Amino acid sequence: MRILLCVLFCIGHFSLLAQTPNDRPKLVVGIVVDQMRYDYLYRYWDKYSAGGFKRLVNQGFNCRNNHYGYAFTETGPGHATIYTGTTPSVHGIVSNNWYSRALERIVYCAEDTTVQAVGAPTNPGLHMSPRNLQVTTLGDELKLATNHRSKVIGVSLKDRSSIFPAGFFSDGTYWFDSKSGNFVTSTFYTQTLPAWVQQFNERKLPQAYLEKPWTTLLPIAQYSESDPDDSPYEGKYSHEEKPVFPHAIKDPRNREFQNLPSSPWGNSLTLEIAREALVQEKLGQDQFTDLLAVSFSSPDYVGHLFGTSSIEAEDTYLRLDLELADFLKFLDTKVGEGQYLVFLSADHGAPYNTQYMSDRKYVKQMALGPMIQEKLNEHLHHLFGVEKLVPIFREQELFFRESAFRPGRLERSEVERATVEFLLKQPSLACTVVPTNQSLSTCSGLRRNLLEANYYHKRSGDILYSLEPGYLNYNYPKGVTHGVGYEYDTHVPLLFYGWKIMPGSTKAPTYVHDIAATVADWLCINPPNGSTGTPVQGIGLSLKH
Ligand SMILES: [Zn+2]
């Protein structure tokens, strides 16, 4: 009876207490695993250690039905979405690269020609900043809320994966320059690298990792979740004959570091600088919550090169699991268990190799964009007598030649109609969205929502289209690529762990753009200024007053 009363009392105790502003974590650690599909939590579950992914799942809160809410599932939009709490239609990062009507060229999502690289002596061509982002980030709002007494640091191998997470007011945004082997930043933030980053670079860790051969963590016969080591669906390092273990990471023909990100050592290197940032910047040491954004790019590079069913991919996750376990122990020691909050998600997922699927009778081809574009232009030329009416056809969108619609020339709506009719006859194309001519939008339901959430009118095409499931946007016979917004691309992990989070899970739909609103609520701060997400429901907090 006494036990029952205690149980009732304790349950009531937890649910009746409201969080006060003093209940905030000392540190928020945002972890993004690039290309981590949701099922990787379970595909390799039996081989994970107790302290890595299993610790986050078993002792944290697992959003099992967590998706991206837009179609172009790529790294730039993914990271922007996680940290701004909204979709490309608002934050403006519509894809990794988009066509700029004003500049009449393709622009890169993190490019900024007004800034220079800092710390990249051999690669002055890096011009990167968050300037293309239209809204504030979680870290920006945290700094605004605490009058900049909170610190925000972002680290990753990829520039876009540190720049968008750390936002505009970042205290440090560092990414890997594969030419020099340095972690670098931009004059957008500072004119010189902090002494600790310079010293980190002087340790020449990438040089040491390059020399380290990649062998499997476990005996190779135990990788029964994956394809054989030498499979026809894998790409390979350019200097290797076959995609088999043990891999030499270093390309003997040059001194650069281009293969390092496509190996598990890229994750090791990322954690080395994450740890150093935490210590040197004294994150999580005072009453003002800090944010450390860590993004692991190597799982994506490995996935692209070797594919999602490769032993290389499995080995990368098994090693990342061990490294995460170490990192959590490091946080326990440096910040204190229960004092830090972790969220883990991914910037997108990935399909299986298209040829692998076709060989097993699920026959889908790559959607060969250039071929469709050529046939479309021929068709429109035949109908309207104007050549190359569609100069840009990429990323599931197309742009018309605007000059063709000047007064007295072609009727825009007729060209749009003919284009949509042509597209719908292509076996790989499912449906269309024409934002300025809704009567030609043939997508409905989820497909339409995903494309519309990707549409930012200053950067998006005149017509957006969805591929049929299973098709790829590019010719990718080896390895995999992503970006088409189906289940395999949109369904990614979302785990909250630590601080006062009580273990649990939900199967209710959650979206990646809910993360920022959820964390902002716990921090008692404003969500980012363009936020369209809502705090995830049902996560219990163990509050004791
Ligand atoms: Zn990728």
Q: Clarify whether residues 264 and 410 are in a common domain.
A: no
Asked if the structure places residue 343 within a domain, the reply is: yes
How many angstroms is it from 303 CA to the middle of ligand 1? 8
Q: Which residues pair with 177 in a beta bridge?
A: 182
Q: Clarify whether residues 446 and 505 are in a common domain.
A: no
The model's pLDDT over 271-284, given as tens digits with 9 standing for 90+, comes to 999 999 999 999 99
How many angstroms is it from 300 CA to the middle of ligand 1? 5
Q: Clarify whether residues 69 and 160 are in a common domain.
A: yes
How many angstroms is it from 212 CA to the middle of ligand 1? 24
Q: Clarify whether residues 246 and 346 are in a common domain.
A: yes
Query: Which string of DSSP letters, residue by residue, matches 130-180?
Result: STT--S--HHHHHHHHTTT-S-EEEEESSHHHHHHHH-SS-SEEEEEETTT
Asked if the structure places residue 544 within a domain, the reply is: no
Q: In this structure, what is the dihedral angle of CA atoms 378, 379, 385, 389, given to the nearest 10 degrees?
A: -70
* Residue bearing tokens 């105790």: 13
Q: Clarify whether residues 199 and 116 are in a common domain.
A: yes
User: What pLDDT, on a 0 to 100 scale, did the predictor assign at position 3?
Assistant: 46
Asked if the structure places residue 533 within a domain, the reply is: no
How many angstroms is it from 347 CA to the middle of ligand 1? 9
How far the first Cα of the chain sits from its last, in Å, is 25
User: What pLDDT, on a 0 to 100 scale, did the predictor assign at position 198?
Assistant: 98
Distances 524 to 4, 57, 211, 538 between C-alpha atoms, Å? 34, 25, 47, 18
Q: Clarify whether residues 447 and 507 are in a common domain.
A: no
Q: Is 75 a catalytic residue?
A: yes
How many angstroms is it from 493 CA to the middle of ligand 1? 16
Q: Averaged over 419-440, what is the pLDDT?
A: 96
Q: Clarify whether residues 167 and 295 are in a common domain.
A: yes
How many angstroms is it from 316 CA to the middle of ligand 1? 15
Domain that holds residue 116: 25-356+486-523
User: What pLDDT, on a 0 to 100 scale, did the predictor assign at position 256?
Assistant: 87
Task: Reply yes or no on whether the pLDDT at 1 is more than 50.
Answer: no
- Other C-beta atoms within 10 Å of 217: how many? 17
Q: Clarify whether residues 255 and 155 are in a common domain.
A: yes
How many angstroms is it from 301 CA to the middle of ligand 1? 7
Q: Clarify whether residues 377 and 240 are in a common domain.
A: no
- The DSSP bridge pattern shows strands 340-345 and 27-33 to be parallel
How many angstroms is it from 481 CA to the middle of ligand 1? 6
Cis peptide before 246 (omega within 30 of 0): yes
Would the pTM of this model clear 0.85, i.e. be above it?
yes
How many angstroms is it from 97 CA to the middle of ligand 1? 13
User: What pLDDT, on a 0 to 100 scale, did the predictor assign at position 22?
Assistant: 76
Q: Clarify whether residues 224 and 110 are in a common domain.
A: yes
- The DSSP bridge pattern shows strands 152-156 and 172-177 to be parallel
Task: Reply yes or no on whether the pLDDT at 208 is more than 70.
Answer: yes
How many angstroms is it from 66 CA to the middle of ligand 1? 19
Residue 496 burial by CB count (10 A; 0-12/13-18/19+): exposed, middle or buried? buried
User: What pLDDT, on a 0 to 100 scale, did the predictor assign at position 433?
Assistant: 98
Q: Would you give the DSSP letter of residue 405?
A: G
Task: Reply yes or no on whether the pLDDT at 162 is more than 60.
Answer: yes
Asked if the structure places residue 472 within a domain, the reply is: no
Report how many domains make up the chain.
2
Task: Reply yes or no on whether the pLDDT at 147 is more than 60.
Answer: yes
In percent, how much of the chain has pLDDT > 70?
97
User: What pLDDT, on a 0 to 100 scale, did the predictor assign at position 364?
Assistant: 80
Q: Clarify whether residues 184 and 107 are in a common domain.
A: yes
Asked if the structure places residue 534 within a domain, the reply is: no
With cut-offs at 50, 70 and 90, classify the pLDDT of residue 255. Answer: confident
Catalytic residue among 75, 86, 136, 308: 75
Averaged pLDDT of the chain: 94
How many angstroms is it from 278 CA to the middle of ligand 1? 27
Q: What's the CATH number where 116 sits?
A: 3.40.720.10
Q: In this structure, what is the dihedral angle of CA atoms 134, 138, 139, 142, given to the nearest 10 degrees?
A: 120
The model's pLDDT over 281-305, given as tens digits with 9 standing for 90+, comes to 999 999 999 999 999 999 999 999 9
Task: Reply yes or no on whether the pLDDT at 151 is more than 80.
Answer: yes
Q: Averaged over 485-489, what is the pLDDT?
A: 96
Q: Clarify whether residues 256 and 320 are in a common domain.
A: yes
447: its two tokens: 């497909």
Phi, psi of 128 (to 5 degrees): -130, 145
Asked if the structure places residue 274 within a domain, the reply is: yes
**Closest listed residue to residue 539, CA positions, set 7, 113, 15:** 15
Asked if the structure places residue 4 within a domain, the reply is: no
Asked if the structure places residue 542 within a domain, the reply is: no
- 313 close to 223: Cβ distance less than 8 angstroms: no
Q: What's the CATH number where 463 sits?
A: 3.30.1360.150
